Amino acid sequence: MQAIRCILVVIDPNQPQELALKRARLISSVSQSHLHLLTCDAKHDHSSHLAALREQLESEGHQVSTQQAWHDSLHQTIITVQQAEGCGLVVKQHVPDNPLKRALLTPEDWKLLRYCPCPVLMVKTANPWTGGNILAAVDVGNSDLEHRTLHATIINHGYEIASLADGKLHVISAHPSAMLSAADPAFQLKETIEARYREACKRFQEEFDIPDAQLHVEEGPADALIPRVCHQLKAVVTVIGTVARTGFSGALMGNTAEVVLDTLESDVLVLKPDDIIDHLEDLVRH
């Protein structure tokens, strides 16, 4: 996060608390990043509101630019501007859809998480980050190169946010329940699954310097465990990654980040591996 030169902040006139701007201001004050404020609207003029925000932020010592734009949809507008401005982080206040609408249409925030080529911070609460717990969600049992690279990115961002907020980093990893039908005999017995995960966790802890008290390994589905541990820790930010699967058309992400977005009681930072970012940038360009 220290290396982010420009942060895209989505300014929603319907969200008067401006939680996204509050978070972006905090990150910028440490990283010295430029703030690019974007209002996505084709109908109404928001130039006076953006000018007032810019003046206020510049008086605090921030470098700021502003823009109003619209390109077919909310997520496409944000991604188009993110690419044009070279922003390394998008900060947006999360707006939950009602369950009926979500069942019929893919929410715009989900599409942004799926298709945005850079990290996205979804701001959900007004709770201060200072002194809070940061929760990083990883899959310790997956040790292929793609997952190891993503784990390093998640943990590094987690440590950076913990440093920024003077908080403490915790790590959650869910492991599967025993399945008699599993092809690998190691996944047919609970004891062998736990033993395999304990061994993987030991290597993981040594690599990333995670104390026992800050590692939470539990059995069950990630989309249920992550919100539960987040609630128990009263985490202020949850850092989650996504690895695409091969053999698909278009850009798809594992849906854990989408599923937990509405249930988490913290802000959510979603990261992707470099190869997926390259793929998404190609899609945007074409």
Digit-coded pLDDT (tens) for 252-277: 445 677 778 888 999 999 998 766 66
How large is the C-alpha radius of gyration of the chain?
Answer: 19
Separation of alpha carbons 103 and 106, rounded Å: 7
Separation of alpha carbons 167 and 285, rounded Å: 39
Ranking 50-64, 154-168, 178-192 by mean pLDDT, the lowest is: 178-192
Q: Is the pLDDT of residue 160 over 60?
A: yes
- Sorted by where each starts, the structural domains of the chain and their CATH numbers stand as 6-93 (3.40.50.620), 133-285 (3.40.50.12370)
Higher-pLDDT residue of 62, 276:
62
Q: How confident is the model at residue 180 (pLDDT cuts 50, 70, 90)?
A: very low
Asked if 121 and 23 count as a contact pair (C-beta separation under 8 A), the reply is yes
Separation of alpha carbons 187 and 238, rounded Å: 28
Q: Is the pLDDT of residue 107 over 70?
A: yes
Predicted TM-score (pTM) of the model is 0.87
Separation of alpha carbons 166 and 265, rounded Å: 20
Higher-pLDDT residue of 119, 105:
119
pLDDT at residue 90, rounded to an integer? 97
pLDDT at residue 248, rounded to an integer? 38
| CA angle in degrees (0–180, nearest 5) for 137-271-286 | 150
Share of the chain above pLDDT 90, in %: 54
